[in-house]
């Protein structure tokens, strides 16, 4: 559904549920003036309380989204750490760092400096 058709379809018989709020949110992500136009359409049909319901829905959505993004970023950081540790083990193994002993001496310096 086109966003213009969506706005024109707002009337007293419109069902104002999660699907409606998601569409409003989705269209408003790419068109900042979209929320104002929807609010105008809702005000025109006497649906100011729907604006308050959308704001409540958005706040709840934002809390859930922030939690999901935090959880995802924590998981991703752990995955990156694992991959980095695997990379280090591979590089160290290929270069022989794991089994290398100190076989050099500095002239003029004690070995425990």
pLDDT tens across 44-53, in order?
999 889 999 9
25: CB partners within 8 A, 6+ apart:
58, 61
- CB-neighbour burial class of residue 14 (10 A; exposed 0-12, middle 13-18, buried 19+): middle
The percent of residues above 90 in pLDDT, for the chain, comes to 71
pTM of the model: 0.68
What does each C-alpha distance from 41 to 26, 76, 81, 82, 103 come to in angstroms? 17, 42, 50, 52, 81
In this predicted model, which residue has the larger pLDDT, 20 or 92?
20
Write the pLDDT tens digit of every residue in 92-111: 887 665 555 555 556 666 65
Q: Tokens at residue 33, please?
A: 């003036």
Count of alpha carbons within 13 angstroms of residue 59, beta-carbon side? 6
């Amino acid at each position: 559904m086109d966003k213009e058709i969506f706005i024109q379809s707002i009337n007293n018989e419109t069902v104002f549920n999660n699907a409606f709020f998601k569409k409003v949110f989705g269209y408003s992500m790419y068109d900042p003036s979209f929320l104002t136009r929807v609010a105008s359409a809702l005000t025109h049909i006497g649906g100011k309380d729907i604006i308050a319901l959308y704001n409540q829905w958005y706040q709840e959505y934002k809390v859930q989204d922030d939690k999901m993004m935090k959880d995802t970023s924590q998981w991703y950081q752990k995955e990156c750490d694992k991959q980095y540790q695997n990379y280090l083990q591979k590089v160290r193994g290929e270069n022989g760092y794991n089994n290398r002993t100190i076989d050099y001496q500095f002239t003029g310096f004690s070995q425990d400096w």
